[in-house]
Amino acid sequence: MALDPFYWLAGILEGEGTFMSGPPSRPNAPVVRIRMTDRDVVERSAALLDRAVTPIRPRQAHYKPPFITQLRGAEAVDLMIAMRPVLGPERTAQIDRVLARWSPRGRRSRPKAPRFPVLDGIDGSTSRDPRALSWLAGLLEGEGTFSLTCDSYPVISLNMCDGSVVRIAAKLVEARSVALREARRPEWRPTFVAQVGGAHAAEWMKRLRAFMGQRRTEAIDAALSQYHPIRLIDPPLSCVVPGCSAPHRGRGLCHKHYMMWSRDKANGRETRITPLR
């Protein structure tokens, strides 16, 4: 399936974009900016915008150096209008505030024809739509995590403040639920988390790999290289722990005993439960 570059860009902007009004010295020069530490991803975005990539000084000496690309003025407005239908409520509200303050002046304040196609919204109804898959690839490039559990099962997770965006992504990847994660500090906002694991995550990693940048590709390759699934040929209907009749979840164990075994293994303790595999 081919990547739709502008839906991919919309996913990047959802996760890593900034939509700003112009400074007091240039009130009619709004800005769309992408800032990331992945230079190759910023370069892909810059190629679509026909703009340069600029390295900037990290905020702390031990931070990775970030790179930015940006549009200003009427072209930034055109991009905001084009991307707005596919962005979540928080980004849409940012764009609306910018557009409400922007007033074009002069003959050359706006190009004769918009540079960017106006996108249709993504509802998460099907991942077979190349536009939805491209948007998801861009979103996970910016905000996703590709990792392994302690027992070498691949996991894809998405953690963002905009719950509506996370729910659409969760619907696309068929995640079981979206969880609310409370903020760890008073000045932070709560976030919403969706994730898939195991064979389903491995399938999605393989499907998304061709669209991802270098860092995400390396993370996917590392996860898949350690994943060697072993399935029970005839799994039991209930937990194999003596005295437990709860429904089977995995490895011959119910949810409670599976989590007990998993926590013991993750913390380096001798496991109290013995699974079937």
CATH of residue 35's domain is 3.10.28.10
Q: What is the pTM of this model?
A: 0.83
Same structural domain for residues 173 and 255?
A: no
The DSSP output letter for 209 is G
Beta strands in 64-203 (DSSP E): 67-72, 144-148, 154-160, 178-181, 191-197
Is the pLDDT score of 9 beyond 90? yes
In a domain, residue 113? The reply is no
Mean pLDDT, rounded, for 256-272? 90
Check whether residue 180 and residue 206 sit in a common domain: yes
- Residue 108: pLDDT band with limits 50, 70, 90: low
Single out the residue in 185, 200, 225 at which a domain terminates.
Answer: 225
Q: What is the mean pLDDT of the chain?
A: 91
Token pair belonging to 131: 């536009």
Domain check: are 246 and 215 in the same one?
Answer: no
Report whether pLDDT(107) > 50: no
Instruction: Tally the residues of the chain.
Output: 277
Number of domains within the chain: 3
| Close Cβ partners of 172 (under 8 Å, ≥ 6 residues apart) | 124, 126, 127, 132, 133, 136
Q: Is residue 123 part of a domain?
A: no
In this predicted model, what pLDDT tens digit does every residue of 171-209 receive, in sequence order? 999 999 999 999 888 888 999 999 999 999 999 999 999
Shared domain for 192 and 214, answered yes or no, is yes
| 246, part of any domain | yes
Indicate if 25 and 65 belong to the same structural domain.
yes
Considering the domain architecture, whether residues 206 and 275 belong to the same structural domain is answered as no
Q: Quick one: CA torsion of 114, 81, 194, 15, rounded to 10 degrees? A: 70
Q: Is the pLDDT of residue 109 over 60?
A: no
Has residue 116 been placed in a domain?
no
Does residue 62 sit in helix, strand or coil?
coil
What is the reported pLDDT for 191?
95
Q: Is 228 helix (H, G, I), strand (E, B) or coil?
A: coil
268 within 8 A of 262, measured Cβ to Cβ: no
If one compares 54 and 251, the residue with the highest pLDDT of the two is 54
**What range defines the domain where residue 248 resides?**
232-277
How large a percentage of the chain has pLDDT more than 90? 70
131-161 pLDDT per residue, tens: 999 999 999 999 999 999 877 889 999 999 9
Give the residue among 253, 255, 254 at the shortest CA–CA distance from 276: 253
Q: Would 275 be classed as within a structural domain?
A: yes
pLDDT for the residue 88: 95
